[in-house]
Amino acid sequence: MGKKAKKSSVELLQKVFDFLGRYGGVIETKNPESWWNLDVEVEFIEGENKDIQIALYKILDGGDACFDPQFLLSLTMDGDKIKSAVINEMLQRTLSGDSWIDENDIWHGMGGEQKANPGLADSFDQFMHSVAVDGPYLSDPQNVEKRDKTLAD
């Protein structure tokens, strides 16, 4: 079922969609070492439901991608406006290996499990603040690629 996103997170996510459009896209920054690429992928839209992935990523020299972090969300929409968001999972893919926080706020990775601190809702809130407020993604991007369809299309 996931964790309900905080209202502040939903408002910041709406700003990202207002900037990129209903199908998301990729925003590259002028300083990719400090501010990795932002990728928003809309998996599918069915009625008022929209499933998305939103992540920061970097392509390494060997062509591998590091995602740190990547969130999987289910949105309820009213037209192009987000009414609510549920965070299903947070993933991290780094050179150290993969880890994730599940819908029960349990962190899994590197052979262990423990209660995640912060949990999904707080992690997503911090992420959205970093993207939409602190980072240059919406205010000073170097390159913006807007998508014109879902991943399922």
The pLDDT, as a whole number, for residue 66 is 82
Sign of torsion over alpha carbons 9, 99, 3, 76: positive
* pLDDT mean for each 10 residues of the chain (153 residues): 93 97 95 91 93 91 83 95 96 81 89 89 96 95 95 85
What pLDDT does 135 receive?
94
Please tell me the predicted confidence (pLDDT) of residue 7.
97
Instruction: Label residue 72 left, alpha or beta by phi (over 0 means left) and psi (-120 to 50 means alpha).
Output: beta
pLDDT value at residue 20 = 97
pLDDT of residue 33: 85
